[in-house]
Structures are given as structure tokens and as C-alpha cells.
Amino acid sequence: MNIMNRKTNEMLWVTKAEYADEYKLLLTFNNNVTKLVDLKNSLYGEVFEPLKDIEKFKQFDLSDWTVEWYNGADFAPEYLFELNS
């Protein structure tokens, strides 16, 4: 599934994800933009609460379109792209 960037009307997805520090990920998107996103304030709710454990936060992988954690938690690419902007 690809998500539309509302600002530019382009399809948006994550093509690369690396752990950076604390609750930060270095993400590259299909439009060749790389961003450091801090998810510390986004980890609330039942599915994200376990990710406050930093070791569990580090257990992510790249799905076809975004970052996904071991427990199925994920964020929409456009949310990640607009975060900290």
C-alpha cells in the first residue's frame, strides 16, 4: 500500500530505515528525502506503549511501505514524513 503525500500529491513510502538514537529513526522516502524522526512523543496507545522499552523499539523492520515493529505497530508514511517538519 502506498500513501499519498497530501502536500505534493505524490505517492509516499519509506525505502530505508535505520535506528539512530533513543526513539529516533533515520528514514529515507521514495522521493529521496531523508529525515531524522523522533517518535518519543508518538508512542502512546495500546499498540505503541510496549515500544517505550528502548530494546523493543529497536525491533523494527521495513514493510512494503513503512516501518513496522515486532508487534505489528506501524506509522503511516505521511505521518513520519511530516513529523518534526
CATH number of the domain where residue 7 is located? 3.30.2020.10
Q: Which pLDDT score, from 0 to 100, does residue 1 have?
A: 44
25-64 tens-digit pLDDT = 999 999 999 999 999 999 999 999 999 999 999 999 999 9
The answer to whether 36 touches 24, Cβ cutoff 8 Å, is yes
How far apart CA 36 and CA 53 sit, in angstroms, is: 20
Question: What phi, psi does 82 have (nearest 5°)?
Answer: -85, -15
* Side chain identity, residue 24: K
Q: Which pLDDT score, from 0 to 100, does residue 17 have?
A: 98
How far apart CA 60 and CA 56 sit, in angstroms, is: 8
The answer to whether 23 touches 39, Cβ cutoff 8 Å, is yes
Structural domain count, the chain: 1
Q: What is the pTM of this model?
A: 0.87
Quote the domain boundaries for residue 63.
Answer: 3-82
